Chains A and B, each alone.
Chain A
Amino acid sequence: MDAEYNQIGASTELAQPSSDRRYRVFEEARITIETDTDIVVARQRGRELATRLGFSSSDLTLTATAISELARNIVQYAKRGEVTLRLIERNGREGIAVEARDQGPGIADIRRVLEGGYSTSRSLGLGLSGVKRLMDEFEIESKVGQGTKVVARKWRK
């Protein structure tokens, strides 16, 4: 995505030199998301992959929850999109990256969405803000009318 996109990542992430941000992908699964059944498939693949890394049962649940939230957003707002799950390694650490991508309506005010729970009465701190809290790293790019891309990573403890 080009530089015009609204972009917000974890600030520590942005401050790091680019070489530290590179990681090796050693397994990848791509799931088209359109229906509730697809969400189930994505969760299941995610759980399988993270289990292989030796994630604790709590972290497996958190990863599945993050996949659910991101995939739900696609179904609800963009109607169609895809989730890519990657097993990754960076500086000797292994983890899972969940990428959700769609060409939906996009998000006008990312900051507001990430503040979920404070700024809108409807929100309970779930959704994107919840995913950000459950995972170790979170990045989002979105442009109104063109779509949204979210990447959330969780590392093995």
Chain B
Amino acid sequence: MSNLQLEYDAALEAYVQRGGESALKQAYELGRRALGEGLGVLDMVAMHHRTLDKLMNENPQAVLVHRSGEFLAESMSPFEMTHRAYGEANATLRRLNDSLEGQTRKLANTLHDESGQLLSAVHIQLQEIAKGFSPAERAKLDSVRQLLDQIEQQLRQFSHDLRPTVLDDYGLVPAIQWLAGRFSKRMGIPVTVDAQSVTRLPATTEAALYRIAQEALNNAARHAKAARVQIRLKQLPGELHCSIRDDGVGFDVSSISSKRTKGLGLLGIQDRLSGLGAKFQIRSAAHEGTELSIIVPLEE
């Protein structure tokens, strides 16, 4: 017999005898664990009724309880199907995000490495050509080379925006610090990053949180007109907490919860997070800034 069943037996028996919120909390925890172990709706119903069968023992109502358990299981069966459909959709979403992230990384590398090399080759050849030039012609060529330098810089910036190498090489916190630094310089909005005991995380999680921070910073500058932004990351056993807060104009959260008006950016955040099984909350009100809170489950 599984551990979970034994614990369920004990917890339900304790609750039947004494009641109390702490037993109910344990019921919730057992349900969470069951979900984590891949049990479905019907497995939970079956577990509950195995316990009831034991508790009923010689009770004359035992048949009633047993039969009602069987009846309940059948009526819950359609919910099992939708429960499984949800799991499947989540897995699909995760795969989609992974492949999108992979393509982005490839594109960023191509831009950075291959285009960079081509431009270097152009520079060298121009230098060769310039050898036979008059000073006046050389001056013209110099302005062409300056334009090439600008292109190179733009390509590099574009590549970093797509996928910063620091994310793959050093992880989430250095990448977010780098992002915050660049954002502050570009937009003139100070960003503080406060990270506590964050280790390297699965690539999908790191990429998702990085993208979300990117999106939130863009929102803070574009819509919220914020004067400062604070990013907090904190790793606990089995969970990563992330909050991004600005002091901008804020907005009425209820006005964007209908699907139709929800901005694309926010939807993107939600899609990424549901792929990770994360919880996500926005707190905001007019003139009170906006806070995005995220809790991502981590495998222990």
Query: Which chain A residues have a beta carbon within 8 Å of chain B's beta carbons?
Result: 56-58, 61-62, 64-65, 117-118, 124-126, 129-130, 133-134
Contacts and interface: CB of A to CB of B under 8 A. Distances in A.
A65 B46 contact: no
Interface stretch (B13-21, B72-80, B172-180): B72-80
Interface residues of chain B: helix, strand, loop or mixed (majority): helix
Residues of A contacting B: mostly: helix
Contacts of B223: none
A53 B45 CA distance: 22
The 9 closest A-B pairs by CB, nearest first: A125-B85, A130-B81, A65-B77, A133-B84, A58-B42, A125-B82, A61-B73, A117-B85, A58-B46
22 contacts: A57-B70, A57-B73, A61-B42, A62-B80, A64-B74, A64-B77, A65-B74, A65-B77, A65-B81, A117-B82, A117-B85, A117-B89, A118-B89, A124-B81, A125-B81, A125-B85, A125-B86, A126-B78, A130-B82, A130-B84, A133-B85, A134-B81
B161 interface: no
Contacts of B85: 117, 124-125, 129-130, 133
Contact of A62 (B42, B82, B88): B42
Contacts of A126: 78, 81-82
Contacts of A56: 46
Contacts of A134: 80-81, 84
A42 B144 CA distance: 81
B80 A124 contact: no
B43 interface: yes
A106 B291 CA distance: 52
B166 to A, nearest CB: 36
Contacts of B43: 58
B127 to A, nearest CB: 56
Given A61-B74, A62-B42, A65-B80, 6 more contacts: A61-B73, A62-B77, A124-B85, A125-B81, A126-B82, A133-B81
B205 to A, nearest CB: 25
Query: In this complex, which of B42, B70, B78, B81 has the most chain A Cβ atoms within 10 angstroms of its Cβ?
Result: B81
- Measured as residues with beta carbon below 8 angstroms from the partner, the interface class of chain B is 10 to 19
Contacts of A133: 81, 84-85, 88
A117 B88 CA distance: 11
A61 B69 CA distance: 12
Interface in B199-236: none
Nearest to A130: B81
A62 B86 CA distance: 17
B277 interface: no
B73 A130 contact: no
B181 interface: no
Nearest to A116: B85
A39 to B, nearest CB: 13
A62 B80 CA distance: 9
A130 B87 CA distance: 12
A57 B80 CA distance: 14
B297 interface: no
Contacts of B40: 58
Nearest to A123: B85
Contacts of B80: 62, 65, 134
Nearest to B41: A58
A130 B46 contact: no
A20 B77 CA distance: 31
Nearest to A68: B77
Contacts of A130: 78, 81-82, 84-85
B83 to A, nearest CB: 9
Contacts of B46: 56-58
Contacts of B42: 58, 61-62
A130 B40 CA distance: 14
A61 B42 CA distance: 8
Nearest to A64: B74
A65 B79 CA distance: 11
A42 to B, nearest CB: 14
B271 to A, nearest CB: 14
